[in-house]
């Protein structure tokens, strides 16, 4: 393998670059990503897909940002006898493809470039790299939040040992609307409370440091209230619950990194 990189992926729609159908020379189990077709005379040398991971991109302000989600890596190399192409030509093909459907160029230099697409509720980041030796690679990230999987028994065990548990309940951006993928966590909180009728808890919201302290405190309280409301809807007595919004006042990680911010955006269940 001429490529050793990790890759990440997304699927939205097929974009026409310089079309070239997949061939038997492609690495076993590898194929083009649905978002792009390949450059003529190139074959897939390596590939990898991860359902959830992170990858770093540089945005238009030359700021490095880490995005999480489904990641696809595809490495392409020129087939024997194929026409050599400068990386600039390869890059321009991908720029043309993404801009035709509303995407933008975020950053580029002589050896790499980043593209961004926000369409139909999906946010996609694409990195095109000159890998040297007549090869290039794609990192494609479909941005999404991690879905936490935890059972009622695990929650109770942590509460009894530590007195609290941090849960990553996903909300709509700048809103207190619980996203569907986090409903299972709310269901498990409700189950824990139903199975332990003498247990009373405080639902406490936390944010990262983006925005003003005042707004973050308000948002975190609204989100805590939303969790309480969801539990009451499932039959939990409201008298057993209270809600607090701490905003950005109690970080558990460094807000200077995207990973740290993600850890700080949490809801804690605190045993009374």
15 part of a folded domain: no
Q: Where are the beta strands (DSSP E) in the chain?
A: 42-58, 64-78, 104-108, 112-119, 122-130, 135-143, 164-167, 201-206, 241-247, 266-271
Is position 229 within any domain? yes
Which two tokens mark 227? 């969790």
Residue 146's pLDDT is 65
Q: What is the C-alpha to C-alpha distance for residues 51 and 48, in angstroms, rounded to an integer?
A: 10
195 and 116 in one domain?
A: no
| Of 83, 108, 143, the domain-final residue | 143
Residue 240 scores a pLDDT above 80 = yes
Are residues 103 and 50 part of one domain?
yes
Give the pLDDT mean for 70-97.
95
Residue 155 pLDDT greater than 60, yes or no = yes
pLDDT digits (tens, 9 = 90+) for 195-233: 999 999 999 999 999 999 999 999 999 999 999 999 999
pLDDT for position 260:
84
Taking CA atoms, 198 is separated from 187, 193, 272, in Å, by: 18, 8, 10
Q: pTM for the complete prediction? A: 0.58
Q: Are residues 98 and 171 in the same domain?
A: no
Same domain, yes or no: 110 and 192: no
- Is residue 22 one of the residues assigned to a domain? no
Q: pLDDT by residue (tens digit) across 12-36?
A: 334 444 444 444 489 999 999 988 9
Residue 6 resides in a domain? no
Task: List the one residue out of 197, 167, 194 whose CA is nearest residue 182.
Answer: 167
The domain of 105 spans 42-143
CATH number of the structural domain spanning residue 162: 3.30.1330.60
Residues 136 and 46 both lie in one domain = yes
Tell me whether residue 255 is in a domain.
yes
Residue whose entry in the numeric block shows the structure tokens 């990386």: 87
Q: Are residues 218 and 196 in the same domain?
A: yes
Domain count, the chain: 2
Kindly state the DSSP code that residue 27 receives in the 8-state scheme: P
CATH number of the domain enclosing 117:
3.30.310
- pLDDT value of residue 67: 85
Q: What is the pLDDT of residue 239?
A: 97
**Per-residue pLDDT averaged across 52-76, rounded?**
89
Average pLDDT over residues 246-267: 90
Kindly state whether residue 185 falls inside one of the protein's structural domains. yes
Burial of 145-154, coded b for 16+ CB within 10 Å and e otherwise, reads beebebebee
The answer on 198 and 117 residing in a single domain is no
Domain final residue pick, 123, 143, 163: 143
Query: What is the DSSP pairing of strand 241-247 with strand 201-206?
Result: parallel
Q: Is the pLDDT of residue 147 over 90?
A: no
Judge if 48 and 97 occupy the same domain: yes
Which of 143, 175, 195 is the C-terminal boundary of a domain?
143
**Residue 148 pLDDT:** 76
Q: DSSP per residue over 195-252, as a string? A: H-TT--EEEEEE--SSS-HHHHHHHHHHHHHHHHHHHHHTT--GGGEEEEEEETSS-S
Strand partners, 56: 66
Instruction: Please tell me whether residues 136 and 53 are part of one structural domain.
Output: yes
């Amino acid at each position: 393998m001429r490529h050793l990189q990790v890759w990440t992926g997304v699927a939205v729609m097929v974009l026409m670059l310089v079309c070239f159908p997949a061939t038997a020379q492609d690495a076993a189990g590898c194929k083009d990503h649905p978002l792009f077709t390949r450059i003529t005379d190139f074959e897939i040398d390596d590939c990898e897909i991860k359902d959830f991971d992170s990858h770093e991109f540089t945005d238009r302000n030359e700021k490095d940002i880490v995005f999480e989600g489904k990641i696809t890596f595809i490495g392409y190399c020129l087939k024997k006898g194929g026409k050599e192409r400068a990386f600039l030509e390869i890059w321009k093909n991908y720029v043309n493809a993404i801009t035709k459907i509303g995407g933008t160029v975020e950053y580029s230099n002589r050896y790499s470039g980043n593209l961004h697409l926000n369409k139909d509720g999906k946010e996609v980041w694409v990195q095109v790299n000159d890998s040297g030796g007549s090869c290039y690679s794609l990192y494609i990230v479909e941005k999404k939040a991690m879905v936490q999987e935890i059972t009622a028994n695990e929650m109770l065990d942590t509460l009894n040992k530590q007195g609290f548990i941090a849960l990553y309940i996903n909300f709509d951006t700048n809103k207190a609307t619980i996203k569907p993928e986090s409903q299972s966590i709310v269901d498990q909180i409700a189950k824990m409370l139903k199975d332990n009728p003498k247990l009373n808890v405080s639902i406490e919201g936390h944010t990262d440091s983006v925005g003003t302290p005042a707004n973050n405190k308000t948002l975190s309280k609204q989100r805590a209230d939303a969790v309480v409301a969801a539990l009451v809807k499932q039959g939990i007595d409201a008298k057993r619950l209270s809600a607090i919004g701490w905003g950005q006042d109690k970080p558990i990680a460094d807000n200077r990194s995207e990973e740290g911010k993600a850890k700080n955006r949490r809801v804690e269940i605190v045993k009374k």
